[in-house]
Amino acid sequence: MGGGTAGWMAANLFANKWADKNVHVTLVESPEIGIVGVGEGSTPTLKRFFEMLNISESQWMPQCNATYKVNIRFAGWSPKSGIEDYSHPFICQTDTFTQKSFFVNCRTRRLGLDTNVNPEEFLLNGVLAKQVKGPLAPEHFPMIMEYGYHFDSYLLGQFLAQHAETLDVEHIQAKVSSVKQHANGDIAALITENGDEIDADFFVDCSGFASVLMQKTLNVKFNSFKQNLFNDSAVVMPTPMQDVIPVETRATALSNGWAWKIPLTNRFGNGYVYSSDFINQDQAETELRRHIGTENDPESCRHLKMRVGQLEKHWANNCLGLGLSQGFIEPLEATALHLVQVCIEMFMGDFEKGQFSHRHQAEFNQKIAERFERVRDYIVAHYKVNTRDDSDYWRANRDNTHLSESLIQILNVWYKREDLGAEIDRQKLNTHFDTISWHCLLAGYGAFPPIANNQPGTGDHFIENGIEEFNRRCSLNFSSHQHNLDSLK
Ligand SMILES: Cc1cc2nc3c(=O)[nH]c(=O)nc-3n(C[C@H](O)[C@H](O)[C@H](O)COP(=O)(O)OP(=O)(O)OC[C@H]3O[C@@H](n4cnc5c(N)ncnc54)[C@H](O)[C@@H]3O)c2cc1C
């Protein structure tokens, strides 16, 4: 149920995987209700989604005004000079040669010695982002590149709907007005406004924040993350594309939240994510307009509310919650569709392993809850370590003591100058945000003690291991982002 990105991703993957198992997939959606229509940035996981469906980039990207994404640039998150912005690049294979030097330098810097700890200079995608080069490597380049995408979510929905048709997914456009249940609580059928009954053995709730099946029908409890993450609203407005299309998302900290700037081939998507406890809708809109230079633009902005948290169970009875209906961890780092895809993949594995029974339901629920929590922690860290002093919002985030044990441990290890990689391994966090992402965040933010007076003048692995030259030479293999985009046509 639901034809947003979550619904169409699930319908395609189920129909594709279980084509030979006599599984029939029906997707029902209400055009009247529509989709949330934001969510235009991905992680590299989305590449795997298209690969699983055998869809090439030249098939889908031009149709969805999509661009490549190799990096997220965080601007204005720290007022300290010299770190006005920092990068969180997607990690690729060349980084295995440089990441150790980055870790060593971060540890040396934590001890007070002056070393280069700028993530984008160590990691190839950071270098490409700065040069506005695309991530498509020529065949003779021996390393595997990782990257994500930016895309128009309405167009992606349309594209996936068309593709689902080729996989025999039945598409019904109707509003579901009630739900029929069996005596044991399982869902029996969805009843549409015009009285049609859509019955099935298994249901997938992709109804967005409404969570019609999981919350409203099966009464699955929703655990809010509001204490950890204050942002609950967003205001959105597009702006025209500039001459050169960036190959990165820009996330700029503003007075009471942050603004995204996502480049598509035809426009920028912009939005300000903020906490309504600190500013109201009008103030947020005024600030966004000032930030993107649209103060005099008669076009109106879209305002959205966000429900941040997760369901207590992601699979209950004969229903799987997916997408915004199962939970949401605000869009910093663009993890929502990544979580959707991971959930679909894990569900398909566990459902099939249990011969399409509930045998692995508890295990699945535990794995997904853990995913949500660890992704949440990484996002919370962006707020917790901030040193901005320009609003109550930033001070309240810094003073927030609602942190998970896992996050407290990570920050302790960092500030005590211990081995962060060993701690990430100990907590088995590598499948969430791994050691390098934590280093990008904490080093990028400048979470270091002051530089000591007596510097040895040696021990900077960036210089001693020739990292700048290595990445410069690697980058010579890549062409401009525009060239990559043109090659798709
Ligand atoms: C401000 C913001 C920014 C975001 N940025 C990102 C990002 O950069 N990257 C990212 O990965 N994700 C992002 N997300 C999340 C992303 O938008 C969603 O994960 C994604 O769009 C999937 O949404 P969905 O399909 O779950 O829900 P929706 O798009 O809301 O779709 C819900 C569907 O359910 C249907 N429906 C609901 N009720 C009924 C009913 N009664 N009868 C029939 N049909 C019904 C609707 O018609 C619709 O088709 C962002 C979200 C927000 C709020």
Q: Are 329 and 336 in contact (CB under 8 A)?
A: yes
Indicate the pairing of strand 309-311 with strand 302-305: unpaired
Question: Which of 324, 335, 338, 339 is the best mutation target for the ligand 1 pocket, counting ligand atoms within 8 Å of the beta carbon and taking the most?
Answer: 324
Which residue's CA lies nearest to atom 17 of ligand 1?
39
Instruction: Name the residue ranges covered by the structural domains of the chain.
Output: 1-79+147-380, 91-132+404-475
Asked if residue 11 has its Cβ within 6 Å of ligand 1, the reply is no
What's the start-to-end Cα distance of the chain, in Å? 34
Asked if residue 292 has its Cβ within 6 Å of ligand 1, the reply is no
Confidence (pLDDT) at 273: 98
Confidence (pLDDT) at 449: 92
Please check whether the domain covering 1-79+147-380 is classified as CATH 3.30.70.2190. Answer: no
DSSP 8-class letter at 271? E
pLDDT tens, position by position, 134-167: 999 999 999 999 999 999 999 999 999 999 999 9
User: Which amino acid is it at 162?
Assistant: Q
Q: How far apart are CA 7 and CA 43, in angstroms?
A: 18
pLDDT tens, position by position, 296-315: 999 999 999 999 999 999 99
**Nearest alpha carbon to residue 55 among 121, 174, 149, 171:** 149
**Nearest alpha carbon to residue 170 among 22, 15, 6:** 15
Question: CA triplet 432, 209, 160: central angle to 5 degrees?
Answer: 75
- Report the atom number in ligand 1 closest to the C-alpha of 33: 47
pLDDT tens, position by position, 257-311: 999 999 999 999 999 999 999 999 999 999 999 999 999 999 999 999 999 999 9
Task: Place 231 in a pLDDT band, splitting at 50, 70 and 90.
Answer: very high
Q: Are 236 and 269 in contact (CB under 8 A)?
A: yes
